[in-house]
Amino acid sequence: MGLTKQYLAYRAVDSFNIIASGRANVNFAIYNKIQGRYFAAAAAENVILWDLRRDKQEVTALRVSPDRLHVAVGYVDGVVEIFDLSNPEESICSLALHKSAVSVLRYDDQGIRLITGSLDTDLVVVDILEQAGRQRLIGHNAPITDVHFLERLALDHIAVSSSKDTQIKFWNLETQFCFKTIVDNRTEVWALAFTGELMVAGCGESTMNVYRLTRKDSNDVKTNALANAVEGLSVDDDDTISPINVKNCGVIQRAGKGRCVNLIADPSERVLSCHGTNDLIENFYFCTTDEAKQRLAKRLKKARKAKQSKEPEQKEEEGEDDVNDKNLSLSDEIKRLNSIKTKQKIKSLDILVGGQNELRVLVSLANNSVQLYSLNTTSKDEDAKMLRSLNWQGHQSEVRSVCFSSDGLAIGSGSAESFKFWNRDSMQCLCSVSTDYILSCAFAPGDRYVLLGLKSGKLLIVDVGAADIVEEIPAHDQELWSITLLPDQKGCATGSSDCTVKLWTFELIDGNIKEMDADGVTSTGNSGQVKVLSLLHKNTLKLEESVLCVQISSNMKYLAVGLLDSTVKVFFLDTFKFYLSLYGHKLPILCLDMSYDSTIIATGSADRNVKIWGLDFGDCHRSLFAHDDSVMALQFIPKTHMFFTCGKDGKIKQWDADTFDKIITLPGHIGEAYGLAINSNGRYLITCGSDRTLRLFERTDEPIVLQDIQEEEREEMENEKLATGEDHGMALLPGLKLPSKKTVGSEKAAESILECLDICKQYDLESEIKPTLHPLMKALDAKTTTDFLLITLARIRSSDLEEALLLLPFPMVCELLTRLPSLIEERSDEIELLSKVTMFLFKIHMKPISGARHMKSLLQRIINLLTSEVNALRDCIGFNLHSLGLLQTEVEKREGIELFYEALQDKKKREKKRRQRETLKRQLIHMT
């Protein structure tokens, strides 16, 4: 085998600039036992935990558990992962549940169950302890918008869901069927919220429907059934099977126009906040019964006074109206609080009621920023105060251009409203400069100044140290698409849509330093004069088409210009004399670059192709189909013939211009990738895109074998086609819909079970001649076939176990069942796993198993063994529980004290002191 070219792999370091994605919601979380200070927000494919007191697949939904210690994350591919906030690096479990993006996640009150809704119109109930799905609810005809467990009426087996099909459905989780549907909404139902017995539904109108939920007694069911029968109605009406009564109490009129986007109730269910598609947050306070009666009494008193003022001669004959629950109206129970007006469109919110009736509202905005507001629920005179705003840490619009400093320690990024400087190692924003729309940027020699090309055609010179604009040059009349430095570091070239390319030279001119006098007034005295950078226009090249990109060869000989007419014109730099015309692209040239030895030029176009040309004769060496959409940026790695490209498909790829091979595809952006930059030694790569993230990659010492990379890509494509997971049902049981989805992991698990059964069968056949252990058995440290089979089953993830068993052929199912009795007898400590496997196999293959005569004795033996082992385990747990309770009682009687009383009292005192300190800090510290 001959020598092969060696490539070094690039690995993703991290992504930054993003604060909160607009697609998912935000949630308060408890971190380090502190509440109200931290919150979780989706950031592209990651979830970031932000501190409000200090500065993969895309995440589409997230939900923090009731104890605020765990967070469930839903992704665009239908996968749900659960993370522990104390150790957020690795997920606790990963569940493949849906075919499309997860739209909503919701925990029950204990945090044991999780219900998920998706754009595929399905609902899945997940058992957190088992780390597997339990039920799949199918009935909606449009994407799910919200879902809740209905535990407030002591009904743990009921869930409520809303959808874009205008329906609100009540589900029985035990039977997996819908027993009641509310269809009185004329538009899509976007959100649900519960406060006490009231359910509020936000729809596509400016009103919100309010329903009162009450539990139905068995006597009421019989009475209603008899009354319906007498009136001629059907006894089998849905009300006879519904355990709850639902009554429409009225509507709440919102001040905002358009549909309701989010409805959020605080954990105490006293305050409800909502927002629409605009910038207004409306808050409502739900009164207690005593408060509602007081409001009713005031309303009745005011009505009587108004009536007496109109008819003074008429004496009041009737006594005072009874103030009871029957006379309460919706206006008495709900009080409108002050609204909060933001400066941008709202994407999500979360609320928390603290001490002294303080309502904290956490808002994520559409411009990649998060704000925290404080509102007093008892006072209408005080407006909401903004306590904290997170906007300086990220651009508020899409990042269009990035650049590296000469030493590679600083990164510059430009967007529609600002230019930011970042520290490469810490990935923290160093300073920010407000500008107009930036299309291109480049660090000037010395890294003290940055050149910015604007959409208006202006060229800005920004001082990095002062974070201020030094000079604004009207360089062009239209968009300034490209800025490139001259290789001799003495000037730069700019290209614009006004069909011109201009050459500039750097010069130092006298400038003034802004000084602050004693009165705080800015002055510019002559004593503060220094030399500042400026640009002197040297020459102009006029062309017939708009210029989209410009590049100068490293030998200062050629000037390459990419034009709107899909051609690349190459000129001599010194005389602007025409040299070559490179034509072959079908759409405009969006990016180009030349190699370090000035022999190769690579061009990227909107036709999705990258062409490699020779600069000696202008011949096309190769045309590569690079991306699935327009190629937006291209740059050679210094001192090599390898280059990176990024496109509107979001992917980042590395290519070899000598062998024309694709080296590797890096994890790209969610959406479009707009630009990339490589530092001077080629070690770091930075990219930007429409997901508002800056992604940093670092070159490693790990070598790449192209054949292995290509084989991995082919396997990934085959796995995606193989594990489609489109059908959740079984052919023999059409009514059974599994909550899980077929994945590559479940197929590999099924293969491992089949391989294990074959090895066990072969080992048993050779048992007389004392065979040697199989290498796989040695690797798993299994001495017998029983241990080998148990270890194989235990290694399968809980979320993949059912799908793996479902993929087994029936002869292998029978082989597995015949080995279960000995497995149960020898390893009773794993009775939970073995019971789960047995019950699922019986449920799926009950008909063929019951039809086989030779399986009857095996079935009876398995049932007897499982019954005895489960009863023994239950008795052991019960004995231990009651024994511990008895020991506690005896110790308390003998010592005359309550066990652990001192520890509990100390804990309560510490919690009380901590709350007092936090309340005092809120009063004394004014956060800006």
3-state secondary structure 337-371: CCCEECCCCEEEEEEEECHHHEEEEEEEECCCEEE
Question: For residue 493, what are the β-bridge partners?
Answer: 484, 503
Assigned token pair, 325: 């629950």
The predicted structure's pLDDT at residue 482: 92
Share above pLDDT 70 across residues of the chain, in percent, rounded to a whole number? 84
Locus of tokens 């005179």:
381
Give whichever of 171-185, 378-392, 911-925 has the largest mean pLDDT: 171-185
Residue 181, token pair as written in the block:
């549907």
CA distance 832 to 811: 24
pLDDT in the model for residue 65 = 87
Share the mean pLDDT of the chain.
81
Those residues whose C-beta lies under 8 Å from the C-beta of residue 60, and which sit 6 or more positions away, are 23, 24, 42, 74, 75, 76, 101, 102, 103
Tens of pLDDT, residues 281-294: 888 888 877 877 88
Give 418's strand partners. 434
Query: Are 394 and 17 in contact, with CB atoms under 8 Å apart?
Result: yes
pLDDT tens sequence across 481-526: 999 999 998 999 999 999 999 999 999 887 754 443 434 444 444 4
Question: What pLDDT, in 10s, does the model give residues 90-127?
Answer: 778 888 888 888 999 999 888 889 999 999 888 999 98
Measured CA angle at 199 (ends 172, 99), to 5 deg: 50
Q: Hey, CA dihedral for 335, 340, 346, 347, is it positive or negative? A: negative
Dihedral class, residue 111 (left if φ above 0, else alpha if ψ from -120 to 50, else beta): left
Q: Is 294 exposed, middle or buried (0-12, 13-18, 19+ CB in 10 A)?
A: middle
- pLDDT confidence of residue 329: 75
**What digits encode the pLDDT tens for the residues 119-140?**
988 899 998 888 888 888 888 9
- Rounded CA-CA distance 576/797 in Å is 67
Mean pLDDT confidence for 152-175: 87
**Average pLDDT of the segment spanning 674-702:** 89
Q: Does residue 693 surpass a pLDDT of 60?
A: yes
Residue 400 pLDDT exceeds 70: yes
Mean pLDDT across the stretch 781-809?
84
- Cα distances (angstroms) measured from residue 795 to each of 80, 162, 723, 752: 20, 38, 20, 10
The owner of tokens 């010592």 is: 895
The answer to whether 77 and 720 have CB atoms below 8 angstroms apart is: no
pTM (2 decimals)?
0.72
pLDDT for res 736: 60
Alpha-carbon distance of 440 to 421, in angstroms, equals 14
Residue partners of 427: CB distance under 8 A and separation at least 6: 14, 16, 696
Q: Which residues contact 504 (CB under 8 A, 6 or more apart)?
A: 475, 491, 492, 493, 494, 535, 536, 537, 538
Q: Which two tokens stand for residue 384?
A: 């909401």
Query: What is the C-alpha separation between 669 and 58, in angstroms, rounded?
Result: 9
107 pairs with which residues across the strands? 114
Cα dist from 862 to 55, 66, 853, 874, whole Å = 61, 40, 15, 18
User: At what angle are helices 785-794 and 810-826 packed, to 10 degrees?
Assistant: 110
Q: In residues, how long is the chain?
A: 928
Q: 602 has which bridge partners? A: 593, 612
Residue 598: name the closest of 550, 553, 549 by CA.
553
What was the pLDDT predicted at 653? 92
Most confident of 343-347, 601-605, 744-748, 902-906: 601-605
Q: Which stretch, 24-33, 660-669, 846-855, has highest mean pLDDT?
A: 660-669
**Helix, strand, coil content of the chain in percent (nearest 5):** 25, 40, 35
Q: Residue 610: what pLDDT? A: 94
Distance, CA of 191 to CA of 186 (rounded, Å): 14
Mean pLDDT for the stretch of residues 590-602: 92
